[in-house]
Structure 1
Amino acid sequence: MAGARAYIGSFTSAGGRGVTVADLDPATGALTVAATTDALADPSYLALADGLLYAVSETDEGAVGVFDVSGGAEPRLTGAPRSVDGSGPTHLTVTAGHVVTANYGSGSVSALPLDGGAPSVVRHTGSGPDQDRQEAPHAHQVVADPSGRWLLTVDLGTDSVRICTLDEGRLAVRREVALRAGSGPRHLAFHPEGAHVYVLNELDPTLTVCSWDADRGALAPLDEIRVLADDPKGDAYPSALAVAPDGRHLWTATRGEDVVSVFTLTAGVPELTAVVGCGGHWPRDLAVHPSGRFLYAANECSGDVTWFRVDEAGVPHPEGSVEAPAASCVIFGG
């Protein structure tokens, strides 16, 4: 764990520092800022692959920037940002020789070849019952399944998850799975054993439990559970979820209520066991360290990242925080 780092994304348009590199103490989970760069506008979500840090530029123009992080603490932007042929990219993943983005503004998903070339773009269609938030498609996340054969795209605007393939550089939708109308799915995560998927809904504070068949690329909703112990007092917008590396626990973050909810997983089935404060205001992202010992909340509006020690029951205990204005995500790497 020597030389471990965390990378924090943020909104430069809201006073954020862009990409922050933080040294991570493997004994305590503590973060110490080592360097920052605002070379890319609004790098709200990050992904690390082969010594390179990929970042969306969540702007109307929509782009991806690539940083070299191999030569020291300070990231170096390699070349000009590349257009995703879509607007407002909110998430990305690197898989099969491509960087793939979910574009909230244009309701599309783009696959850009790592070696250059035009993106392959799939444009979602449809809408939902909430005319303020679901008047059109809003792709919010794209995730590769553990087998690497499928891409799952989560669309808040159409209340659905699309199952896609990326073959010979062409992105294609193979099927679309409908979730409850008005739920507003935002993010999903796989259980480590691969047979369950958990979809976190933003417009209603719930978690949809699904089965996953990697052989067929088949997702099937099984149950929907509340992520809060009581009815919300005001705004309650779930934002992010994380599953423990050992598959025993799952955590969700809810903005407005500003809490982290703790679930125990038994045979992949979640049970709400605790709700604790997020350590700040408006937790936009939640990340579990690969060791499973520490949990991190990126609190956008209070401008900090809080770290927690996770006990045997999966309950997070706050240990400290680091200043990170307009923080939007946390990822880990060497």
Structure 2
Amino acid sequence: MRNWLRISGLTSALMAVSAMPLYAAEKAMTTETAHYAYVGTYNPNGEGVYRFKVDAKSGALSDKVLVSKLPNQAQMVVGHGGKTLYIGSEVDNYNGGKHGSVAAYHINPEDGSLSLINQVDSQGAGPVYLSLTPSGDRLLVANYISGIVAAFPIDGSGKLGDASSVHQDEGPAGAGKPAAAAEGSFAISDHNGPHAHMIATDPSGKYVFSTDLGLDRIYQWKLNSSNGQLEANSPAFINASSAGAGPRHFVFHPNGDVVFLVNEEASVLTSYHFDKATGTLTQLHSLSTLPPNFKGTNFAAGIVLSKDGKHLYVANRLHNSIAQITVTGSGEMRWADEFWTRGDYPRTLTLSADGKFVYALNQRSDNITRFKVESGSGKLIFVDDYTAVGSPSQMVMVP
């Protein structure tokens, strides 16, 4: 579901836990322990991309500075060992045309400021997801509005070249109502044509997968390393786990054998076996991201996997919670717990590099909330510290 689709609703508080107060976290922050976080936002509440300092011990965010006024930033990804930041502008009128754009920025290690390297046409409208190949020499882009995926070469300076591959998703629109959604759900959006939502490689970089929410498909690609072409695998796509499910984002388990994918409209998590020889997926299990007795409308969103690969966290919009799902390397999943985000409409989740903190970017309440990950159990403990930022969409961290 896109930023411009508004559905009202708030759930009541699930729990309230206090932790380190903000003043203590700020006092503990030093130049030696701090690194940077970049937060992209949607206009008009957000002005562009903000840089924060992050305390390595407490995870606290401070010293907010606007570093780019790129409109409607959808996603970012860090390349070149933390030297380059790639930002997608989720618009459909770049340079007076009908596409969005992707910009490459050099990161100043002294203060985290950004300097533009170059900006290119994203080859479609609404670039909503960016990812890099493992080698870092290609940028992959999913354009949501137009349902187009593209690949771009990257040179040694971080500069983006002309697209090496562009593909338009085509096919019949998916079912209007998600068959596997909770009773009473009206989670119906954008099943009116192609809407590419994510694109990323497998850990080897040989294969690529892209999701299309509007067509209820997961596309399977081979990446030609010599020319950067996305070549259709066999089969070229598989259908979503259920009619109208709306495939959104996915993550690979650390063992590389299993993929966990969240379906936005159905609020269902599905696991797949990944065949490393053929680069194809086979469905394993499905599980709701909502508590067992929930009834009504919800849109599942961001997804992150704990460092040990045992706990999966999923953002639930409207329910305003983070679901904790216990997972295994064989694709098994079990509902574990839920945590109130302390905000409205959590669009994405970010896991700190050390795996000790989870951040919820609450788009409609204009704030970011932070949770400490409890060692062993993986449970989330709310840190009583809100970070104000207008319509946050995504956050990445740079050492």
TM-score using structure 2 length:
0.80
Whether the 8 Å contact between 1:67 and 1:75 is mirrored in structure 2 is no
* 1:20 matched to 2:64: no
> Could you tell me which residue of structure 2 aligns to residue 146 of structure 1?
203
* 1:196 matched to 2:258: yes
Q: 1:114 aligns with which of 154, 176, 179?
A: 154
- Report the residue type matching 1:28 in the other structure: S
> Could you tell me which residue of structure 2 aligns to residue 317 of structure 1?
381
> Could you tell me which residue of structure 1 aligns to residue 170 of structure 2?
125
* 1:169 matched to 2:228: yes
Whether the 8 Å contact between 1:86 and 1:106 is mirrored in structure 2 is yes
* 1:330 matched to 2:360: no
Rg (Cα) greater in structure? 2
Q: Identity of paired residues, percent?
A: 30
CA offset digits 1:96-137 (Å, max 9, x no partner): 522111011110101122242244201111220118521111
- Report the residue type matching 1:32 in the other structure: S
Tell me how far apart the structure 2 counterparts of residues 149 and 118 of structure 1 sit (CA, whole Å). Answer: 18
1:181-220 equivalent positions in 2, closer than 5 A: 181-220=243-282
By percentage of residues, which structure has more strand? 1
The offset of 1:77, in angstroms, is 3.9
Whether the 8 Å contact between 1:235 and 1:255 is mirrored in structure 2 is no
- Report the residue type matching 2:33 in the other structure: A
5+ unaligned residues in a row in structure 2: which ranges? 1-31, 93-98, 156-160, 177-187
5+ unaligned residues in a row in structure 1: which ranges? none
SS in 1 for 2:34: coil
CA offset digits 1:245-286 (Å, max 9, x no partner): 111111100100000000112344221110110121100001
CA offset digits 1:167-202 (Å, max 9, x no partner): 112122212111222100111111111111011011
Tell me how far apart the structure 2 counterparts of residues 14 and 172 of structure 1 sit (CA, whole Å). Answer: 39
Q: 1:304 aligns with which of 367, 379, 388?
A: 367
Whether the 8 Å contact between 2:315 and 2:348 is mirrored in structure 1 is yes
Whether the 8 Å contact between 2:365 and 2:391 is mirrored in structure 1 is yes
Tell me how far apart the structure 1 counterparts of residues 333 and 35 of structure 2 sit (CA, whole Å). Answer: 31
The offset of 1:317, in angstroms, is 1.0
RMSD: 1.7
Whether the 8 Å contact between 1:85 and 1:119 is mirrored in structure 2 is no
The offset of 1:235, in angstroms, is 3.1
> Could you tell me which residue of structure 2 aligns to residue 159 of structure 1?
216
1:90-105 equivalent positions in 2, closer than 5 A: 90-95=128-133, 96=135, 97-105=137-145
Whether the 8 Å contact between 1:233 and 1:257 is mirrored in structure 2 is no
SS in 2 for 1:253: strand
Whether the 8 Å contact between 2:285 and 2:333 is mirrored in structure 1 is no
Whether the 8 Å contact between 2:247 and 2:263 is mirrored in structure 1 is yes
Q: 2:290 aligns with which of 213, 228, 247?
A: 228
Further displaced range: 30-39 or 244-253: 30-39
